[in-house]
Amino acid sequence: MGDSATPALIVGLRNPGEQYEATRHNLGADVVATLAARHDAKFKRAPRIRAEMAVVAIGDTRAILARPNTYMNESGQAVAPLVDYFGMPLDRLLIVHDDIDLPFAKLRVQEGGGSGGNNGVASTIRSLGNEEFWRLKCGVGRPPGRQEPASFVLKRFGKNERDDIDLLRQYGADVIELFVTAGGDEARQQAGEVKIG
C-alpha cells in the first residue's frame, strides 16, 4: 500500500463528446465527475495534456481527478503524460472504468493484471509500459442476446437501470475517497461490500 499522504491521481476513462455522454463506456468518467461535484470542483483543460483536470482535498490528501480528452482506445496518451507531469507513483494511480464482465452495478477494486478487454485500460498499460496500477471497475453487465459488446457499451442506460447507476456513482465516489485517504487495500474491501439493487 502506498503512503496515503501522497497525492493520488484518479482517471475516469471515457469517450469525449456529447454523443457519448451517459453511455456505459463513460461510466468511469461519470463516477469521477460525481466525486468532483461532491467537492464543488470544476474540470479545466490541462495544459499540454489531452485531459481535463480538477483538484480536490479529501481529508488531508490531495487528489487530482482527470478525464481524458482522447477516445477510449487512446486513453494511455492522456494517462502517461499525467503520471509523468505529477511524478505519480503507480500505486497512487487509480483508473476508473466500465467493465462488461462484472455484473451490472457491481464495483471491484483490483491492483495490476491485464486489460480485461477494456481498450482504455489496454492503452494505458501500453503507454505506461506497466500494468501495476489500481483500477476501480464499474460493472455494466454483459450485452443481451447476440448484441455486440462494442455497440452495447456505446448505448445509454435504460430507464429501469438509472436509479441503480446513480447509486453506483455515489458508492464509486465513496470508494475513490477511501483509496485517496487509506490506500488500495481498504478501497478494495469497501468496494466488495457494496450492494446495489
pLDDT at 46: 84
- Spell out the residues 6+ positions from residue 29 whose beta carbon is closer than 8 angstroms to its own: 12, 13, 14, 67, 96
Regarding the domain with residue range 8-193, which homologous superfamily does it belong to in the CATH classification? Peptidyl-tRNA hydrolase (3.40.50.1470)
- Spell out the residues 6+ positions from residue 145 whose beta carbon is closer than 8 angstroms to its own: none
Give ∠ CA 191-76-10 in degrees, rounded to 5. 35
pLDDT at 166: 97
Q: 170, exposed or middle or buried, with CB in 10 Å at 0-12, 13-18, 19+?
A: middle
User: At residue 106, does pLDDT exceed 50?
Assistant: yes
pLDDT at 114: 94
User: At residue 4, does pLDDT exceed 80?
Assistant: no
* Average pLDDT over all residues of the chain: 95
User: At residue 184, does pLDDT exceed 90?
Assistant: yes
Q: 19, exposed or middle or buried, with CB in 10 Å at 0-12, 13-18, 19+?
A: exposed
CB-based contact 106:154 (threshold 8 Å): no
Return the SS3 of 141: coil
Domain boundaries, the chain: 8-193
Give ∠ CA 136-139-143 in degrees, rounded to 5. 145
Q: Which of 151, 117, 157 lies closest to 135 in space, CA to CA? A: 117
pLDDT at 145: 87
Rounded to two decimals, the pTM is: 0.96
For residue range 117-162, what is the model confidence (pLDDT) as tens digits? Answer: 999 999 999 999 999 999 999 999 999 888 899 999 999 999 999 9
DSSP state of 180: H
Dihedral sign of CA atoms 176, 177, 183, 188 in order: negative
pLDDT band at 47; cut points 50, 70, 90: confident
Cross-strand bridge partners of residue 10: 65, 94
pLDDT at 65: 99
| Catalytically annotated residues | 25
